[in-house]
Structure 1
C-alpha cells in the first residue's frame, strides 16, 4: 500500500504517463481561467446574495447550548470469487466531540452488519447498497443524540431503495433479496422518522460531500459551470450561511417500487411510502461555511427542522462545534464514520482468506479445490 502511494505511476507504461503529464499544463490553464472569472465576478455575486436576502450570519441565530451529535455512514463490498460471491454491508454510528457540559457518553461506535455468500448475479451490488443504506437509517433513527449527521443526501435512500426493489424482482431467490424484503418496513419507518424530525430534541440532517444541485444558482441566474456548493465556497465568508431553501424538485415524481413485498407488509409499506414522498417535498437545504479553512457545507433537513428557529440554531451550532479541527473538511463524526467504513473493501479479501482456512480444516476433498474456487479476482465496493 505504501508503494502505491509513493509511486502512483509505477505500473503504468512510461509513454502513457508522459502523455497524461503532458496534458497538465492545458488543464491547469483551463482551471485558472474559471477561477479568475469567478474571482472577477465575486463582488457582483456577493451583492446579488445580499440583495436577495438569502445571505445570513451566525449572529442572527438563537443562542443555544452545544448539542450532542453523532455521524452515520455505511459501506458495502462484493468479493467476486470463482465459485461464489462474498457480500458484506455495514453501517456505523460514531459519536462526535462531546460538548463541555455533557456528562452522558456513548461508549463505543454502534453498528449493523450483513455478510453472506451468494451465487453470481448482476443485481448483487444494487441490493447490497440498499441494505447498507437501510441499516444506516435504522442506526440514525435510534441514535439518542440531539443532532444526527447522515453522510449523503436525504433523497438518496429512496433512489437506492427503488433501484434495489426493481432488481429484487429479477433475483427473488438471493439471500440479499430475502433480507431486504424482510427488513424494508423497518427501513422505511426509520426513513420516515428521519425526514419527519418530529421531536423537538432531535434533528436529522444530510451532509452530502458531492452535489450537482443548483437551487441558489438557478434562482440568481449564475453560470451553470459551477454547482451551488462550489460557488458558495468561494462567496461565503466564515460564519455566513444561506437561509433554508426548498429542495430542488426532481425531473420526475418520486417513486418507490413495492410489488416484491409480501402482501401484509406491502400495505403498511405503501402507507410509509406515501408519507416519505410527502416529506421529501418539504426538505430544505442550507449552505454554511463555519470556518475559513472549510468549504461551504450543503446541509439538507426536513421542514420541521428548517422552520423551527431553535432547531435550526442547534444544527448550525453542531456544525460549527464539530468542525473545529484544521485539515478535516467535514463535521468530525462524519469524518470518523467515513474513515471506519472505507476499510471494508480492503478487509473483505482478508475475511475471505480466513473463511478459506476454516473450510480447509473440515473439507474432505483436495484442499487445492478450496483455494481455487475461493480465489478472488475482483472486489467491488462503495459507500
Structure 2
C-alpha cells in the first residue's frame, strides 16, 4: 500500500466526524439548551407550587468527617491480565489516610474484565466498614442503591456453591475473587451486613452518601413545563433541572428509594435488591431482612449548600440521621469555593485515583522481565 494513502484515509474519517458534529450533535444540543433555558422560570414556579423546595435554616456542624471512595483499573499485558482495586478512607482531621489495596492477576481471557468491578465492590465495603467503626461522620462517594446493584452483579456471577472447584465458562476467574466475595457478603459479620444489616433498620450511624452523577428523572418527568419534550431519551436529568432552579441553602423535600426508583425509571425493585447468597446460606435471611428495612429508611435529598456549589444528591438513613444535621455537615464541608464537592470526598477521590498510575508498574515489570509472555501478542516489529 502506498504511503501517500495514509493521510487521505485519516482525513476522510475526520470529515465524517465533523459532518456529524455540525449536522446532528450541535443542533440537538442547542435545541435542548434553548428549550430548558426558556422554561427556567416556569420550572421554578411549578416546583414551588408543588412544595418541592425547602430552605435550610440549621447550623453548620464543624466536626471531623471521613471520606470513602474506591477506584479500579484493569489492563492486559501480553499473556497476563491484572486488575487493581483500592478503597480509601480520607479524613479532615489529623488522621492518616487508610488504603485497602487488592491486585489480582491471571492469564488473559474474555471473562477477566469482570474481576475489576467485583474487587472494587469488596474493597469499597471494607473501607466503609473501617470508617463506620469510628464515631465520626462518614461520607461515601456514590449511592447506596448503586452499591447494592454492584454487589448483586458480583453475587450473580459467582457459583451457588463456592466450596466446590468448578469451571464456569461465564466467569473463569471466579476462584480468584472467592475470598473477596466471602468477606463482603457470605456470613452474618460480613462487611455488607455489618454496615447495613443492623437490627431495626438502623444501619451504620452517621453514614451518608453523596452521588455526583444524579441521573434520576423523577422531578423532570412530572414537570408540566417540560411536557413539550416528547422524546423521553432527551428529558433532562433532575441534576440539571435542580441545578438551574435551586438557590443557596435550598433543598428538595426528602423522597424514599421506592419513590425515586419507581417514579424515575419505572423500576419494580422496592428499594433493596437482595444479592443471591446461594443455597447453603439460607441462614442469612435475617440479615437480608434487616438490610431491606434499612433501605426502606433511606431518603434522598438534593441540596445546594452555597451559591457556588453544584446540587448534590444526598442519601441518608432517616432512622439514625436527622436531616438538619446531615445538611449541616455537608454545608460545613463545602466552604472552600475552589472545591465543588465536600472536602472529605475531594481528598478520597485524589487518593483513590492513584490506582491508574500504579497499574503501569505491573506492565513495566511484565514487559521488561518476561518478554516471552508477549511474543504472541505483538502486532509489529517496531522498537
Question: Which of 42, 56, 59 is residue 58 of structure 1 equivalent to?
Answer: 56
Return the match for 1:159 from 149, 155, 172: 149
Residues 68 and 145 of structure 1 are in contact (CA less than 8 Å); yes or no, is this contact kept in structure 2? no
Asked if residue 283 in structure 1 is aligned to residue 298 in structure 2, the reply is yes
Distance, in Å, in 2 between the alignment partners of 1:44 and 1:268 is 54
In the alignment, structure 1 residue 257 sits paired with structure 2 residue 247:
no
The answer to whether the 8 Å contact 2:334/2:341 transfers is: yes
Normalising by structure 2, what TM-score? 0.77
Are residues 148 and 373 of structure 1, via their aligned partners in 2, closer, same or farther at CA, if it must alter by over 3 Å? farther
Q: Deviations over 1:21-54 (max 9, x none)?
A: 4555554444333333323322222222222222
Question: Against the structure 1 CA distance between its residues 93 and 372, is the aligned structure 2 distance closer, same or farther, given a 3 Å change threshold?
Answer: farther
Deviations 1:211-237 (A, max 9, x none): 321233344456351111110000101
Give the number of aligned pairs: 339
Aligned counterparts, 1:43-122, within 5 A? 43-59=41-57, 61=58, 63=59, 65-96=61-92, 98=93, 105-106=94-95, 108-122=96-110
Q: 1:356 to 1:31 in 2, by over 3 A?
A: closer
Query: Whole-Å Cα distance in 2 between the matches of residues 347 and 241 of structure 1?
Result: 40
Change (3 A) 1:35 1:172: closer
Which whole-Å CA distance do the structure 2 matches of 1:256 and 1:153 have between them? 17
Gaps of 5+ in 2: 1-6, 160-167, 227-231
d(CA) in 2 for partners of 1:91, 1:159: 18
1:13 Cα deviation after fit: 3.0
Query: Secondary structure of the equivalent of 1:337?
Result: helix
Q: Which residue of 2 aligns with 1:102?
A: none
Partner of 2:165: none
TM alignment of 1:340-351, pairs within 5 A:
340-351=351-362
2:211 is aligned with 1:213: no
Of residues 137, 140, 144, the one that matches 1:147 is: 137
Say which SS state the counterpart of residue 319 (structure 1) adopts. helix
Flag the 1:14–1:294 CA change in 2: closer, same or farther, 3 A: farther
Shift of 1:86: 1.6
Q: Does 1:187 align with 2:219?
A: no
Match of 2:255 among 234, 245, 249: 245
Distance in 1 (CA, whole Å) between partners of 2:296 and 2:208 is 15
SS of the counterpart of 1:211?
coil
Provide the rounded CA distance (Å) in 2 between the counterparts of 1:112 and 1:151: 16
Q: Which residue is 2:118 aligned to? A: 130
The answer for the alignment partner of 1:38 in structure 2 is: 36
Find 1:204's aligned residue among 191, 207, 219: 207
Structure 1 moving runs of 4+ over 6 Å: 373-376
Q: CA deviation at 1:352?
A: 3.4
Report what 1:364 is aligned to: none
1:91 is displaced (CA, Å) by 0.5
Report the secondary structure of 1:113's partner residue. Answer: strand
TM-fit CA distance, 1:276: 2.0
Secondary structure at the counterpart of residue 138 of structure 2: strand
Q: Distance in 2 between matches of 1:122 and 1:163?
A: 17
Q: Which consecutive residues of structure 1, in runs of 5 or more, have no partner in the other structure?
A: 1-9, 99-104, 361-366, 377-383
C-alpha distance 35-79 of structure 1, shift in aligned 2 (>3 A): closer
